[in-house]
Structure 1
Amino acid sequence: MAKTKWIISPGTLTIYPKRNLRIVGLIFFVLIAAFIFYLSRSVQGYSAGLTLGYYGCLLLIPLLLIFIAETKVIFDGNSRILYKKIAFLPIGSIPFDDIASVEPYEVLGSGFNYKLFRKSNRHGRGLLVSAGYSKATNTNLIAFQQEVLPKIDELVFAHAPVIPKQTIYDFRFFSEEGGTYLLRDNKIGSFIIGLIMIGATIAILFSPGFLANEGSIQKTLLTYFPAAIGLALLFAATSNIRFDQNQRKIIRSTFAGRFKKEYPFDDLIRFQVIRKTTNFIYSGTEVRAEIFLPAKNKMVTLNLKSFIGTKKIERFLDEANTILGRI
């Protein structure tokens, strides 16, 4: 199957990230054409207009895929504008000065592609600039990395002004007290729901006749499953994360401080921004800290904060990096 296609010239770069849909569309076209032929021979009695309309709608599906396969992203170095088109139809543009980066992006946990991200929405959906790859050894991917990415750097970033990050003093996501920054997180809802779930289990235990007609396995599950969910919610609701500048540690406390885990600032490798989907529908974005544990020689991830949108994530990262002394 075809992968990413591109055309490089001195002042422009044109990328076709969806050319693989051309083959998919052609296959569907042949299959649907064969299906239409079968229907025309075996099904009779409908008017010619209705039949042709139905066949036309069926053929429209593969034709639409073939049309989408001609999606192209054009980096115009002369105007310093990125243009996106589907075949000959323009569908959007982005000034080079609003482009933050071009990075690999995980695809459904089974591979990755490259996406372009804007400064105005650094952690949003991004703009697709490559096909999907399942292996880092793919020859088309290696060629893309060796030819296309350097050309993007040359056109977009080589002459872009360097704007240093500014130290932040007014924190929105942390509350500061004596050099310790507590990560703000509203967990009242989780706390209340957790208590309700535990209360449901207690109510069932004090009403033995409530599940008298259920089998032993079903009765056990229905009785104790709410309590298990409730305890998990209470665990989350009574947890907090602090960035302690005095000790230079990230401290996670659970159950009102009874259990603590501490991670030195120097062991924090990077922040991960994970975009989550449920049944292909966006369900939020998580920011996690990737931390190396030298004593155990392994990496752990610490969930810091969840966002429904993405435009505030960059501000959150700037605040965290300010506390860590990286800005």
Structure 2
Amino acid sequence: MAKYYHITADSITIRPLAFLVPIGIAIVVLLLLLPLSTILILVKGHLGDIETKYFASYFFMLPFLFACIPFFTYGKRQVIFDALHHTISLKTIFGKKKLMDFNEVASIDPQVRFGLVYYLKSSADRYGKGYRISPSFTGEQDKDKLHFDSHVLSEIKLMIAKVPDRQANNILQPISMGILTHYVSENDSYRLKSTGIGKFLPMLIFFGLFACYFWYNLFTKNEPSGSDKQLSFIILIPILIFLLSVTKRVVFETSTKKIKVYRLGIVFKSYALEQFAGFNIVRKTTNGLYSGTDVRLKFNKSAELTLADFGKTNPIETFIAETEYILKKMESGTSGRS
């Protein structure tokens, strides 16, 4: 593997996608040779028979050549650890931007994403995707990974450890005073704030229009067919699902030490605090594209309760801290009143 990092006394520079550059060069060379090979076949190897018009085939290669640009732009990306300013920056063809300070680093861990890759995460967004700082490795015993661990990662951790006056996480300060962002205190319980009907509204309108059409036919036709009757009731199913979703309420009762899920004002499920087994953070994708992150409570017997779905991962840290604060209140039986 070609050298993708540069270490000095004042900085560590890493090009985690440097391996894309030789791949891009190989593809460009292949795309340039392909029309030439075709021309040589047409003239049966007689170079003197090559005419200018034959080179028009290169115009068909232009879209493919332009498609190779990301190999070089992404391959030139640099993650810079600056020991003088105690900052971590990302440098691209568009310029340089600060990612975080050294005292904001939460973790540097390997993750399985098209191989084993190291990602850097900040304390403000430790449940996010993070920033890639290494090439892909085949596994734990990959010699390139072992080299990265001993020569690059060790230097990064040593540089970060030298930062003076590392700041403590202040997320818990307002929570300890009972100031909550995601929950509402109600008598002897805490209620999770509703996310609203915004994300459900388009589907409600869509199925609502169909329902109006089918029910209009059902009541105005002299002799409605069997399919008219069936569709009039089938269309109510997605509307009922919408109502169940939008009326969902999650309540943490400190007196009963139970977490109850209400739908349409009725208790649908109840979970005992003693069955709580931790959190589960689930990153979701749809057709390969990120579609949100679920925060779930795990219970014994493989049961799970989805508390919230975040489009951005930044608030998750605070959300989990508030939930843990409430769970401790339930465990001690403290009232929900502030």
TM-score by length of 1: 0.71
The structure 2 residue matched to 1:286, chosen from 279, 290, 293, is 293
- 1:216 — aligned with what? none
Check whether the contact 1:286–1:304 (CA below 8 A) recurs between aligned residues: no
Structure 2 residue matching 1:303: 3-state secondary structure: strand
Structure 2 residue matching 1:325: 3-state secondary structure: helix
CA separation of 1:292/1:71 partners in 2, compared to 1, >3 Å: closer, same or farther? same
Within the alignment, does 1:37 sit opposite 2:44 as a pair? no
Within the alignment, does 1:203 sit opposite 2:215 as a pair? yes
- In structure 2, what residue type is equivalent to 1:193? L
Within the alignment, does 1:193 sit opposite 2:204 as a pair? yes
Check whether the contact 2:128–2:314 (CA below 8 A) recurs between aligned residues: yes
- 2:189 — aligned with what? 180
Structure 2 residue matching 1:324: 3-state secondary structure: helix
Inter-partner Cα distance in structure 1 for 2:252 and 2:151: 42
Within the alignment, does 1:84 sit opposite 2:90 as a pair? yes
Check whether the contact 1:111–1:132 (CA below 8 A) recurs between aligned residues: yes
Check whether the contact 1:197–1:229 (CA below 8 A) recurs between aligned residues: no
Check whether the contact 2:277–2:299 (CA below 8 A) recurs between aligned residues: yes
- 1:18 — aligned with what? 17
The structure 2 residue matched to 1:74, chosen from 62, 71, 80, is 80
CA RMSD of aligned residues (A): 4.4
Structure 1 residue matching 2:120: 3-state secondary structure: strand
Within the alignment, does 1:314 sit opposite 2:317 as a pair? yes
TM-superposed CA distance for 1:183, in Å, is 0.5
- 2:326 — aligned with what? 323
CA separation of 1:34/1:266 partners in 2, compared to 1, >3 Å: closer, same or farther? same
Mapping 1:1-327, distance limit 5 Å: 5-7=4-6, 12-38=11-37, 58-59=64-65, 61-62=67-68, 64-86=70-92, 91-94=96-99, 95-104=101-110, 107=113, 113-119=117-123, 123-124=127-128, 126-132=130-136, 140-141=144-145, 144=148, 148-157=152-161, 159=163, 160-164=166-170, 165-168=172-175, 169-188=178-197, 190=200, 193=204, 196=208, 199=211, 203=215, 206=218, 208-209=224-225, 226-264=235-273, 267-272=276-281, 274=283, 276-283=284-291, 285-293=292-300, 296=301, 298=302, 300-325=303-328
Check whether the contact 1:197–1:226 (CA below 8 A) recurs between aligned residues: no
Inter-partner Cα distance in structure 1 for 2:3 and 2:253: 47
- 2:47 — aligned with what? none
CA separation of 1:144/1:38 partners in 2, compared to 1, >3 Å: closer, same or farther? same
Check whether the contact 1:267–1:292 (CA below 8 A) recurs between aligned residues: yes
CA separation of 1:187/1:136 partners in 2, compared to 1, >3 Å: closer, same or farther? farther
TM-superposed CA distance for 1:272, in Å, is 1.3
Inter-partner Cα distance in structure 2 for 1:133 and 1:205: 62
TM-score by length of 2: 0.69
CA separation of 1:258/1:161 partners in 2, compared to 1, >3 Å: closer, same or farther? closer
TM-superposed CA distance for 1:152, in Å, is 3.2
Question: What is the number of equivalent residue pairs in this alignment?
Answer: 308
TM-superposed CA distance for 1:242, in Å, is 1.7
Unpaired segments of 5 or more residues in structure 1?
Answer: 213-218
Inter-partner Cα distance in structure 1 for 2:242 and 2:138: 36
Larger Rg: 2
Structure 1 residue matching 2:97: 3-state secondary structure: strand
Check whether the contact 1:123–1:273 (CA below 8 A) recurs between aligned residues: no
Unpaired segments of 5 or more residues in structure 2?
Answer: 43-49, 330-338
